[in-house]
Structure 1
Amino acid sequence: MSKLFSPLMAVIYEAISAILLFWHAAWHKVVGDASWLATNWSWVLGIIFLVITVRAILFPIFVKQIKSQRAMQALQPKVKALQEKHKGDRETLQQELMKLYREEKANPLMGCLPMFLQVPVFLGLFHVLRHLKPTMPEHLRTLYGWTAGQFESASHAKLFGAPIAASFRSSSHELSLLGASGTTVKIVAAILIATMIVTTYFTSRQMILKTGWAEDPQQRMVQKLMLYGVPFSLLISGYMFPIGVVIYWVTQNIFSLGQQMWVLRKFPPLTPNGTPAPQKAKADAKGAKSGAKDGSATKAVDSRALAPKVGAKPVNPKKGGAAKR
């Protein structure tokens, strides 16, 4: 398994390096070697546009994810009925659920697919940036399509004075080779890690607020894990990530927030009766408007308009009137 896995990861390392180097070269033509705010923008923008490239490639899969989530949400009444019908027969229940998913063309695994596809990209960038060290042997500096000059430039690239190859836990020896201050690295890394945690939380929260909490206990547990577990794990593991990887993660979260907002507006979540929530609201408003035109809607009546005017003679609609005393 490991023999098959290593060549696959090598391909991913080369692909990530190729995209990163392409965008670095493109931005280097624009900004050159200039360093503003103690930042080498050609490398930082290269990482940001690496995110945009990957998300653009995965966008069709992300749309399928939203559609699949809508389909699964619409099937919840039928899923509940099957669960009640086969409560004591787990094997039959699984068979009936798979049959239902095939008939309705719904895939419960599609919701996790975009995340799983991004994991190799993240691991690839982590591996590439982790090797950007001045102590790296000469024969390893030209791996994955890099030149010695590109390696030297990237290994000393900084964001606000903190090398993108450094991490919160970098030793003083590593920082001295990179020509960086330990205090500066820790401050920049801490701010980026905090931003990464907050944006990760809000990315999951946005999706849950739009689609609602799952009624199935296992799916609800997955939602809670994504909402609370993943951000908490980043608090622990974030200090190991190179600053360049944290830049990638933060950019990806910000991009995801905007992408989810657009997709959820275009493919709104369903209400319990199976109608998209915004469309249902529009339909109700349209029905009320048409009802007002044809007179079927009840009009609000001002009670003061029906009250008798001061000094006016009372009108009794019944001719017989009340019995005389």
Structure 2
Amino acid sequence: MNENKNLILAVVLSALVLLGWGWLSNKITPANPSPVKVENGKVQPVPQPNASPAPSTPAVLRDRAKVLAETPRVRIQTPSLQGSINLQGAKIDDLVLVRERESVGKNSPPVRLLSPAGAPGAYFTSFGWSGQGVQAPPPDAVWTPSAQVLEPGKPVTLTWSNGGPRFEITISVDDNYLFTVQQRVANTSANAVAVRPFGLVSRANKSPDPDSWTVHVGPIGVFNGAANYDVNWKTLDENAAGEQFTTPGGWLGFTDKYWLTALAPAGERSFAASFRKGPSGAYQADYSDAPIVVEPGKAVTTETRLFAGAKEKKLLDQYEAAGIPKLSKAIDWGWFEWFMRPIFDLLNWLFQHIGNFGVAIICLTLIVRGLMFPIAQKQFQSMAAMRKLQPKMKAIQERYKDDKPKLQQEMMKLYQEEKINPAAGCLPILLQIPIFYALYKVLLVSVEMRHQPFILWIKDLSAPDPLTPVNLFGLLHFTPPHFLAIGVLAILLGVTMWLQFKLNPAPMDPTQQQIFSIMPWVMMFVMAPFASGLQLYWVTSNVLTILQQWWLYKKYGLHFADTHPVTT
């Protein structure tokens, strides 16, 4: 039966999209390669700026609290961030996200983003200068602050001088995750000096989040107007020289699945950027401006924005509109970005008005199915017509079972006489695939859904369903292996898919019958590790499909026995 083949095709294509689309897109349209320049008609690689310290990390790690207590600090206090600035080296190396928690537990600590060198998970940003004819602040320089607390609307200026030019770093922060860093050099000497401002982000370890074809994790940036997802941990592990870029405007840094630390030099000024790995194993993203000549008695100021926080789409869009080019590309949208963004905006709008992300997913499913109802109507009408023809088709099959060409000829003749197109159900299936994949990606990359509860036992829609009969729904105190942890939602997915298949015309081919009998349970195992939010969408969609089929079959006077006759 062609309708059955269409349904099998839909499930197979959905699985292929989930498992292979990202890999295929990277092969067809890889991200921007390392930049080059042309000199005298020859292509040359852009040289490494060499304007910032090489990445390094101490061999022996110590307690974070002890490391923090060893250096003078300025406290950071905002509605979204808490931490401190290390005055030795002008580093922002202590930062937690107060609105985000490590787990759904009541006493779970806030997510730590940045940590000082020498402590576990060292991850920090730093700003400075290199220079000619001038002593720039060394990496261990101790800066003098203008205040002891950095708050929104209350910037702090750090100053350093060694008898020559005066160096200043003025840091301000907003209510969310954006720092603005102004680097100023005042030349109080009698001679002109050349300085080169730089900034860096250094992290001792790779992200604990996996870097996959679905979600890019690791080095990231926007160079020459395009997002670059091509540089990853493996790239830096294998390339001692690192990756270099020269770009007018843009940003660079490191991304986790939900968090981002990125440096964005303000304006359209050209700067040299690089990603590299040091001998100690630390990773670094850094930029440096072109050398600036400061005449005696003059001062120059450069500005850089630092984003350090959760990749909330609304905030990324706001900062992008405020001048950080394509910051929203920090979310790895993939090929369906044009479709994913409106789906995300609608889902988030529903959540803001309903207050429950799970209910918002159900409402989104209703809206999507409502918009597709006219197309689905035609599909089910075709299926209903095929149901009515099944006795005649069965008779033709019995009559010409030993003559395959004649069987096909008679089947096509029957379709023409009854004015039925057996392929009419393909269009709705093909339309649902990008919708399903777009929603899958939205639920996968959305920090807004992280730790959002639904009802009862589902406390985190971004995680798999934790309730499984394998351990008697938690009565047995053990965690089953990953491949056996089949949650309640995954079981419902299998059951509703089985019911959906039962409402379709019964396949005549024994092979198809076997496929239909096992596919729901195979998909139950395949989908079990996915986010429960995605499983909730699929279960809701299956239930709506079953109701729609039942209503249409009732409308056309069809019953289950009409297309599932007892065979002898």
TM category (shorter chain) comes to: 0.5 to 0.7
Matches within 5 A, 1:125-140: 125-132=439-446
Contact 1:24 1:45 in 2 (8 A): no
Contact 1:157 1:163 in 2 (8 A): yes
Other structure's SS at 2:420 match: coil
State the partner residue of 1:163.
460
Contact 1:74 1:270 in 2 (8 A): no
Instruction: Please point out which of 476, 493, 515 is paired with 1:225.
Output: 515
State the partner residue of 1:153.
448
Cα 1:253–1:161, aligned 2, differ >3 Å: closer, same or farther? closer
What amino acid is aligned across from residue 154 of structure 1 in structure 2? M
Q: Deviations over 1:28-72 (max 9, x none)?
A: 1354xxxxxxxxx0x223321221122112222332233222332
Contact 1:47 1:244 in 2 (8 A): yes
Residues of 1 paired with 2:347 and 2:560: CA distance?
43
Q: Which has the higher contact order (CA 8 A, sep 6+)?
A: 1
Residues of 1 paired with 2:562 and 2:540: CA distance?
37
Q: Deviations over 1:246-305 (max 9, x none)?
A: 11112112222322232222122279999xxxxxxxxxxxxxxxxxxxxxxxxxxxxxxx
Other structure's SS at 1:75 match: helix
Deviation for aligned residue 1:197: 2.2
Query: Is residue 262 from structure 1 mapped to residue 551 from structure 2 by the alignment?
Result: yes
State the partner residue of 1:105.
419
Cα 1:60–1:222, aligned 2, differ >3 Å: closer, same or farther? farther
Contact 1:165 1:243 in 2 (8 A): yes
State the partner residue of 2:542.
253
Cα 1:78–1:224, aligned 2, differ >3 Å: closer, same or farther? same
Q: Which structure dedicates a bigger proportion of its chain to strand?
A: 2
Matches within 5 A, 1:161-200: 162-167=459-464, 190-200=487-497
Deviation for aligned residue 1:17: 3.9
Residues of 2 paired with 1:261 and 1:80: CA distance?
23
User: Could you tell me the percent identity over the aligned residues?
Assistant: 30
Contact 2:458 2:465 in 1 (8 A): no
Deviation larger for 19-28 or 72-81: 72-81
Other structure's SS at 2:528 match: helix
Contact 1:20 1:50 in 2 (8 A): no
What amino acid is aligned across from residue 258 of structure 1 in structure 2? L
Cα 1:86–1:222, aligned 2, differ >3 Å: closer, same or farther? closer
State the partner residue of 1:122.
436
Residues of 1 paired with 2:561 and 2:424: CA distance?
22
Contact 2:465 2:488 in 1 (8 A): no
Query: Is residue 204 from structure 1 mapped to residue 528 from structure 2 by the alignment?
Result: no
State the partner residue of 2:343.
19
What amino acid is aligned across from residue 435 of structure 2 in structure 1? V
What amino acid is aligned across from residue 239 of structure 1 in structure 2? A
Deviation for aligned residue 1:194: 2.2
Cα 1:6–1:164, aligned 2, differ >3 Å: closer, same or farther? farther
Residues of 2 paired with 1:108 and 1:5: CA distance?
35
Q: Deviations over 1:7-28 (max 9, x none)?
A: 9x95645424412421421441
Residues of 1 paired with 2:525 and 2:560: CA distance?
38
Q: What TM-score do you get using the length of structure 1 for normalisation? A: 0.54
Q: CA RMSD in A?
A: 4.0
Residues of 1 paired with 2:533 and 2:336: CA distance?
17
Residues of 1 paired with 2:524 and 2:559: CA distance?
34
Deviation for aligned residue 1:156: 3.8
Other structure's SS at 2:405 match: helix
Unaligned runs of 5+ in 1: 32-40, 133-151, 170-181, 275-325
Residues of 2 paired with 1:84 and 1:193: CA distance?
39
Deviation for aligned residue 1:122: 2.3
Instruction: Please point out which of 380, 384, 387 is paired with 1:73.
Output: 387
Contact 2:415 2:421 in 1 (8 A): yes
Cα 1:5–1:230, aligned 2, differ >3 Å: closer, same or farther? farther
Q: Which structure dedicates a bigger proportion of its chain to helix?
A: 1
Other structure's SS at 1:110 match: coil
